[in-house]
A and B are shown apart, each in its own frame.
Chain A
């Protein structure tokens, strides 16, 4: 390239003014970000999850049955999908028809129509949905048969009446998109209703704390969990959700603190509004996080006793089946559920353009101007998402995921999706083999294992 340009220079005797050699250190997106930072003097805040390339479940493949084991007949032989969560201490554990739950997303970040769509679809599919930062709305309690109530550091809207009418409680220690970070909701989304639920002035840029106000560390958490159990008379399960970072320690400490269910959220997990630097540079991808969590449970002999839900970038039945094969009891979806109800759908192009983006690239949940009515409090935009339609879309998507899981599980000879096991998997890349502790395809090599 450089030689060609010098030749051109010699031939034409013109200065080489149009160099198009991009810098690997400063590619266009980095230049753009530096210019943006220089203009605005603040980090970029955005929605959704990590956009960088990360090791994913795509790097694992299933080993379908053949001679050494037999597959199940797709039409005649059942492949069950039901799962029980949280029977370690709770008198009334959660019984789900499918091992795919809906992750916590706040009313505030999402509009009421989105929350209702999600609640209805979850109920139709026999699974649970989860509140978020900002408390429980009447709409979501009414539309969700099984509702998990989050206890977050901000404690916005937290009250004992909602604790008692929840089906499970999730103590949120962290989130995959930002382990160690607190919440944010920018002023444009703090409408009167959101402000009232959070006891905040309307229209301010709201920051939520990153630590709980009344406990620090696992010993305190144990007492906190006991308090929640006492208030709810030990009826409902208590989940502990952590953002994937030091997964092994966190899972072990959550077990010690008395969790019934542990939710591990990998760094591909989404957010409504977080600093880009957090989303892209903090945390651990979901693939190694599952294996680390399962190992920690196995070491304590608590695997399948304390249940494990894995989330963060789960997109398909294949992803879910692989997480289960690695030892999870269920998966949870957030971003994928939003996409199913219209996020980034190819419509209202002018409104995407007004945000400076296009369908397929939008991550502008933080603006409150969601073109498809999902992540907004604006009544006009919200009217674009009809709850019945949203529920139908999400139901279809969840049904597809379940059929995909069953297809894979039957091919591996399993009569229940929870019977999938690591032995059913092979790794396509050395990285995936090392992270998931699954042999590299065509070998019995697991990098990092002491024996090899």
Chain B
């Protein structure tokens, strides 16, 4: 099934995707429109040819959405399952509060990538901006390039892997040992994204868990 957003209304596209859609859906001329392909719950492939605005593939379940262009803010926000791939760069809040599924960004991601993530796996082939993985609760973030300042601020149990340079770490985020279990998970995520980096070049970061219970001696970190 094909949609051309130059002529077809966004409402028509999303309604179609919610009602027993065909296995393959192609969308042309997205022209930066917001809310393209949101709320899908179907085992289908959606290819969007061009740049998208806010919340593309938001709350996705089961489908595979590929954006052949750049993505605006909060691509794949609150994704539950399935996979969203951005062939270009992604703006801020990519994968925000994602509960599951996978987000792969072939370019760079802006600030607050993976904010409040709750189980999503995010692989960024390039670099991420500041405050990425802020309050990250669960899931994995793989950063093949550099990470901006305050990575993993107030992080809970999410796990971050970084290959490139680091800015200042966020509050309660610390480097941890890359154990065999972590190497295995990292290797599987790199393979999923089609990236052939060696896991040896990565460092692992997670929570020091100092902020889990209020302690007057940590007041300065709050």
Contact = CB atoms under 8 A, between A and B. Distances in A.
A and B are partners in one complex rather than unrelated chains: yes
Interface of A: 40-42, 154-156, 158-161, 163-164, 187, 198-201, 204-205, 207, 209, 213-215, 220, 223-224, 226-227, 230-234
A213 B34 contact: no
A213 B115 contact: yes
Interface string B9-27: 0110011001000000000
List of 6 A-B pairs having minimum Cβ-Cβ separation, nearest first:
A231-B39, A214-B74, A41-B216, A155-B97, A204-B212, A160-B59
Contacts of A207: 154
B96 interface: yes
Interface in B130-159: 134-135, 137-138, 154, 156-157
A154 B116 contact: yes
A187 B93 CA distance: 28
B47 interface: no
B118 A155 contact: yes
Given A154-B116, A200-B137, A223-B54, A159 B99 contact: yes
A422 B68 CA distance: 57
Nearest to A234: B11
A220 B77 CA distance: 14
Nearest to B13: A230
Interface of B: 10-11, 14-15, 18, 34-35, 38-39, 41, 53-55, 58-59, 61, 73-74, 77-78, 80, 93, 96-97, 99, 112, 115-116, 118-119, 134-135, 137-138, 154, 156-157, 212-214, 216, 219
A214 B214 contact: no
A223 B55 contact: yes
13 contacts: A40-B216, A41-B216, A42-B214, A155-B118, A160-B78, A160-B80, A199-B119, A199-B138, A201-B156, A204-B156, A223-B35, A230-B38, A233-B15
A223 B56 CA distance: 11
B171 to A, nearest CB: 12
Interface centre among A156, A205, A220, A231 (most CB of B within 10 A): A231
A220 to B, nearest CB: 7
B157 A201 contact: yes
A220 B154 CA distance: 25
Interface centre among B77, B116, B137 (most CB of A within 10 A): B116
Contacts of B11: 230, 234
Nearest to A41: B216
A402 to B, nearest CB: 37
A98 B77 CA distance: 36
Nearest to B54: A223
Query: Which applies to chain B's interface (DSSP): helix, strand, loop or mixed?
Result: loop
A187 B10 CA distance: 44
A200 B117 CA distance: 11
Contacts of A161: 41
A180 to B, nearest CB: 16
Nearest to B79: A160
Contacts of B214: 42, 205
A220 B59 contact: no
Given A160-B61, A199-B137, A227 B54 contact: yes
A158 B58 contact: no
A214 B55 contact: yes
A230 B39 contact: yes
Contacts of A158: 78, 97, 99
Contacts of A227: 34-35, 38, 54-55, 58
B97 A160 contact: no
Contacts of A204: 156, 212-213
A365 to B, nearest CB: 17
Contacts of B39: 160, 163-164, 230-232
Given A155-B118, A199-B137, A213 B55 contact: no
A187 B211 CA distance: 12
A163 B41 CA distance: 13
Nearest to B10: A230
B112 A213 contact: yes
Interface centre among A200, A205, A213, A223 (most CB of B within 10 A): A213
B115 A214 contact: yes
Nearest to B135: A209
A231 B138 contact: no
Contact of A214 (B38, B73, B119, B216): B73
B63 to A, nearest CB: 12
Contacts of A156: 118
B101 to A, nearest CB: 12
A318 B54 CA distance: 45
Contacts of B38: 227, 230-231
Contacts of B59: 159-160, 163, 231
Nearest to B60: A160
A425 B30 CA distance: 55
A159 B137 contact: no
A231 to B, nearest CB: 3
Nearest to B59: A160
A155 B116 contact: yes
